[in-house]
Each structure stands twice: as structure tokens, then as C-alpha cells.
Amino acid sequence: MIVKNAEFRISAVSPKQYPDTNLPEVVLVGKSNVGKSSFINTMINRKKLARTSSEPGKTRLINFYDIDSKFYFVDLPGYGYSKMSKTEQSKVGTFIEQYLVSSKNIQLIIFLIDIRHNPTTNDKIMYDYIIKSELPCIIIANKADKIAITKVDKAVKDLQSALNPLKDLTFIPFSSERKIYTEDAWSEIEKYLF
């Protein structure tokens, strides 16, 4: 898919702030610093639409990005960031859950995990939450550039065995650096959108 016009629409913390255009939503979830914003930038071939940071926990709001007025990428705050106060973690957790429960436009959850590591406890909690929500989901095994290209397929299979032993979800490697998996990700996303 070639994106011609992508723009940041709004940051939100409550339903009254969500865009009211009823466009389909593709939602990115994952732990802090797993590369959700970089994923968006790579997919739309822009360097800085979604703000990235090497410091985890920078995204603290739900950010909506309008993609060609066809759908939104929705970037949720990352979880598991230990420097955020317990009160703030709870507040962020509440508005994330409120969004996931109340939005009627979610077409797909893209769950990003780090290809180099076993799923964390928080990853497993999020995975269980997504499964219980019955929302469609694909898993992006991100940061594939950080391991040898010959090890990528095995790493993805190992992650699937650890997180999704039923093997009923699609797992795709991804790298914002290499950009070689972008087409695979788009073809999977388009199945849910159009």
C-alpha cells in the first residue's frame, strides 16, 4: 500500500476526544520502547510523523494518525515502564482499557513484541487481554534487524510457541531499519481493512 497523505489527528484520553469520523482503526499495542511509533513511520514511509524516542514511556496519550482518510493508526501508550509512578500507570491503564472496550471502529490490533526476547509477564497479560476481547490481532516481532537475518524465522517461530501455542494468530517479523518486511505487514493489515 502506498500512503499519500498521513497526518497526526489528535491525542486523546477519553471517548469524547476520539475522532468522530468512524474510520476503521488499526491499533498498536506493546511494551514501552518496542517500536510502535517507528512502525507507523516505516509503514507510511515518513521519518517523523509519529514521534519516537530512545527513552521509554514517552507516549502517554492515545495518538490517532489519519492515513489517507481511509483509516487510523492508533498508537497506544506502552506498558511496563517502571519509571512511571504507580498512580500514572494506573491512570494510563484505565484510559487504554476504556478505549479498547468503547471504540466501535477497531478493525485490528497490532501487538508488537521484541524479537530478541521471550515474552514478558506484561506481554502475556496483554496477549490474554486481547484474546479475551475477541478483537482480531496480528503479532509483529519487531527489531528483526538486531539479530542475524538467518535467525529471524526461528526467532519468530519460538515467540509463537511461547505466546500462541495454538498458532491461530499471524506472526510477522519487522524491522524499521531494514524495511524489508513492510509489504508483508501491509498485506496482512489490508485483509482486515478493505
Contact 171, 156 (CB under 8 A): yes
Q: Is 51 helix (H, G, I), strand (E, B) or coil?
A: coil
Q: What are phi and psi of 104, to 5 degrees?
A: -95, 0
For 96-153, the pLDDT digits (tens) are 889 999 999 999 999 999 999 999 998 999 999 999 999 999 999 999 999 999 999 9
pLDDT value at 53 more than 70: no
